Amino acid sequence: MDIQFYGANCLVFSTKGVRVVIDDNLADLGGKSVTKPGDIVIFTGAHGDPKVETKITVDGPGEYEVSDVSIYGIPARAHMDEAGAHTATMYKVLTKDLSIFIPGHVYPDLSDDQLESIGMVDVMAIPVGGSGYTLDAIGALKLIKKIEPKLIIPTHFDAKGLNYPVPQQDLQHVLHEISMEPKETTAKLRLKSSELPDVTQLVVLERS
């Protein structure tokens, strides 16, 4: 599987001719959409409509199966929700070899039922920009400790050319706060299940 990062919370997973696009809200932030015809598109929160014909657009809880990719949407409290509200959706995405967890902009105190639904995770992409809009370093670290993924990819931090609703923290500041050194920094992560680490590691993806 290849993983690329396009800024904000947008990631693209590519495997065996299938592309899974996560949270492509880039056009709303002053960037350029990366969604292509035939993509599997997933949104963790509010979004505009894709401008192309997708294979499927998933934006809510439930179970979905398409092109040998299994998607499980788990209702969650958004970071800015009041207690008891569940306006966001977390996703666990399963391919033949890997399990990927996409929490989105959630409140970090997950229930036992949510944690059971998430289960074992190979890769977790987690927003870290904070400022009251999404998880900050403390919230991200809390979620990391609960999920214990093998690999962490930070998203939604300060980036040139994107106009966030509120300013986001610089990635280096966040990494200092959570006391984690990147295993590597790369433009594209090529990942095999056999190469996953035994202990949690962090990889920084350069914006494509």
- State the residue for tokens 């190979």: 122
Residue 3's SS3 state is: strand
Superfamily of domain 60-205: Ribonuclease Z/Hydroxyacylglutathione hydrolase-like (3.60.15.10)
pLDDT by residue for the chain (208 residues), tens digit each? 999 999 999 999 999 889 999 999 999 999 999 999 999 999 998 888 888 999 999 999 999 999 999 999 999 999 888 888 899 999 999 998 899 999 999 999 999 999 999 999 999 999 999 998 899 999 999 999 999 999 999 999 999 999 998 999 999 999 999 999 999 999 999 999 888 999 999 999 999 9
- State the residue for tokens 């967890």: 101
The amino acid at residue 14 is S
Domain boundary assignment for the chain: 60-205
The amino acid at residue 115 is L
Q: Give pTM, 2 decimals.
A: 0.94
What gap in Å lies between CA 71 and CA 99, rounded to an integer?
10
